Chains A and B, each alone.
Chain A
Amino acid sequence: MVGLSVGEKHFIQGGIAQDLRSDGRKRLTYRPIYVETGVIPQAHGSARVRLGATDVIASVKAELGKPSALQPDKGNIAIYVDCSPTAAPMFEGRGGEELSTELSVALQRCLLGGKSGAGAGIDPTSLVVVEGKVCWDLYIDGLVISSDGNLLDALAAAIKAALSNTGIPKVNVAADATSDEQPEVNISDEEFLQFDTSGIPVIVTLTKVGRHYIVDATSEEESQMSSAVSISVNRKGHICGLTKRGGVGLDPSIILDMISVAKHVSEQLINKLDSEIAAAEASEEES
């Protein structure tokens, strides 16, 4: 990340204090979101999201597997993020590993809920084929191509778009399976089931700079942050996950205030994202 001079830092902080950021946005305005779906044909679903200069790709692959013994009625979902060295020079070699694990953990917490599976944004019970024996394993991979701040929001939007683009093959189970044997399954090549993505939450990251919070910080603004809270909110306005980054401590009342601001911002974001995803799928069908 390039350093900033004292004058530039002062200018950025002044802009945030006066509600007019460097590119003319207000504190709670997102950059224009550009969504493309179906960018990886070999995956079951994929999407590319551009948020200003931040560019991320998410892909979804599904494989048949066995559900865990503790939760026989739920499928398995794994989320993993990789920061490509093309995004920033510091990601070269193993430099991006720390950030990758941080993003993966934050996304898992926000989208998959707790260890028992409670409070998950993505419903794992829809992935089961034969209870206790066969289920779908979803592998969701995110790739950061270009980083200009707000990676978490962009990745969550890309995952949402990729899941709405995902077609899980229809499975026919052989009817005469005894309780002990592994049932035979026939994966159809023709028919696909679309994933239901209306319940998937989006992540809104609020970055605190000085006394104000901003949404969708660029990497220059992120370098000035004292702390950042990422809140995942779904369409109903329920909080699905919360992550705090940054070393500065926050008063609990500030966190509650941030949560209400995030809920307010998420309504517009969900609507905008849904319309962008619909437009992207429509243009993908045309081409």
Chain B
Amino acid sequence: MRGLKLPLSQTQRVRLQRAFEKLQSLSAMANSDASVTVADTIPVNYEDAFLKGHGTTDLNGELVATVCGVVERVNKLVYVRSLRARYKPEVGDVVVGRVVEVAQKRWRLEINFSQDAVLMLSSMNMPDGIQRRRTALDELNMRSIFEENDIVCAEVRNFQHDGSLQLQARSRKYGKLEKGQLLIIDPYLVKKSKQHFHHLEQFGIGLILGRNGYIWIGEHVEARDSMVIDQAKSTEQSTVVEGINQAYTPLEMRQNICRIGNAIRVLTSLGFNVDLNLIMETVELSSSLKIDIHDMLGSEFHVLVAEMEAERRILTTKRKR
């Protein structure tokens, strides 16, 4: 119930409490002895040689946790992984970022990390698709590819030796994102999965779950040769702007985008992991109960979603046994 500030009636409060209790009882059975808070001693066999990892410290000869989290053991390494940390990038993560600066031969993107990530010009496909060296002319035309405040989807390539992050956007599915909305949630709610790009055919909507907590919901654009179109756009900026004015997103697609957006907002305020199945179930719950899109952010729907999730988890744990 952390941070859930909603006007709840008495019955709604009771129902929500009950749903959370069910969920807590399910997770407590899993690994109750592995979670620690600050200054808890970590159960370790002191006779074995072990390595003290992140989040631990030696206090009076005992191994004590310095952060709240879950104890992880990998071979001889013992460390505490905190649950609500800042986004910790891993190589190969799909992230969504916003361009904050166009610098020499690179773009700097803000990705909800302690530093801005760098997307080199050489890590982007050129508009004409030819693999070649980037010339000075390419550098001058960087703005025609990405400008400031553009939303870009890319993949983490590696960490530089000084700790900064490098991204790459070589595949067709990465690149500039338009015609949609960006949602910012806590990064720990997006777990690593096989697919981060989701194409919802029945709505015609593309959903990108960035591991850094930036989620993009928008019209689905086919993995296209967008760079070719962009070149034509840059030479006819004014006419394109007028064209855009007449071509707003159609109402039905917009309704679906808003419904999915609100489903994600409800899940994050309740603290549930955001993945495609849960989002689709929430959306179906809201449309089956004919709940108005804006009412999805009201207290009744929050309580319903919490109850639905509690039921679903009870069923899955029963099936596992």
Residues of A bordering B, CB below 8 Å: 2-8, 10-11, 13-15, 17-18, 20-26, 29, 31-34, 50, 276, 279
Contact = CB atoms under 8 A, between A and B. Distances in A.
Contacts of B170: none
Given A8-B181, A11-B249, A18-B251, A23 B149 contact: no
A34 B182 contact: no
Contact of B258 (A2, A22, A279): A22
13 contacts: A4-B149, A5-B98, A5-B178, A7-B176, A7-B218, A11-B179, A11-B180, A11-B181, A20-B255, A24-B255, A24-B296, A32-B299, A34-B5
Interface in B174-205: 176-182
A157 to B, nearest CB: 14
Contacts of B6: 32, 34
A7 B177 contact: yes
B84 to A, nearest CB: 19
Contact of A22 (B98, B148, B181, B251): B181
B7 A279 contact: yes
Nearest to A25: B294
A276 B5 CA distance: 13
Interface stretch (B64-72, B73-81, B157-165, B259-267): B259-267
Contacts of B181: 8, 11, 22
Nearest to A30: B294
A8 B182 contact: yes
B297 A24 contact: yes
B151 interface: yes
A2 B98 contact: yes
Contacts of B265: 23
Contacts of A22: 181, 258, 261
B29 interface: no
B212 to A, nearest CB: 15
B247 to A, nearest CB: 9
A191 B218 CA distance: 59
Interface pairs A-B: 8 shortest CB-CB: A7-B178, A24-B293, A14-B248, A3-B149, A24-B294, A24-B258, A5-B150, A25-B294
A4 B178 CA distance: 11
B100 to A, nearest CB: 8
Given A2-B98, A18-B248, A32-B297, A8 B151 contact: yes
B92 interface: no
B298 interface: yes
Interface string B271-302: 00000000000000000000011101111000
A17 B248 contact: yes
Contact of A18 (B151, B182, B254, B292): B254
Contacts of B1: none
> Which one of B147, B180, B294 has the highest number of Cβ atoms from chain A below 10 Å of its Cβ?
B294
B244 interface: yes
Given A7-B151, A50-B5, A24 B178 contact: no
A33 B297 CA distance: 12
Nearest to B99: A5
B294 A23 contact: yes
Contacts of A7: 150-151, 176-180, 218
A24 B248 CA distance: 16
Contacts of B298: 32
Nearest to B10: A283
A285 to B, nearest CB: 15
A15 B254 CA distance: 8
B131 to A, nearest CB: 28
Nearest to B293: A24
Nearest to B298: A32
Nearest to A22: B181
Contacts of B218: 7, 11
A23 B7 CA distance: 18
Given A7-B178, A10-B244, A11-B180, A29 B261 contact: no
Nearest to B110: A2
Given A7-B177, A8-B182, A29-B294, A20 B258 contact: yes
A2 B244 CA distance: 23
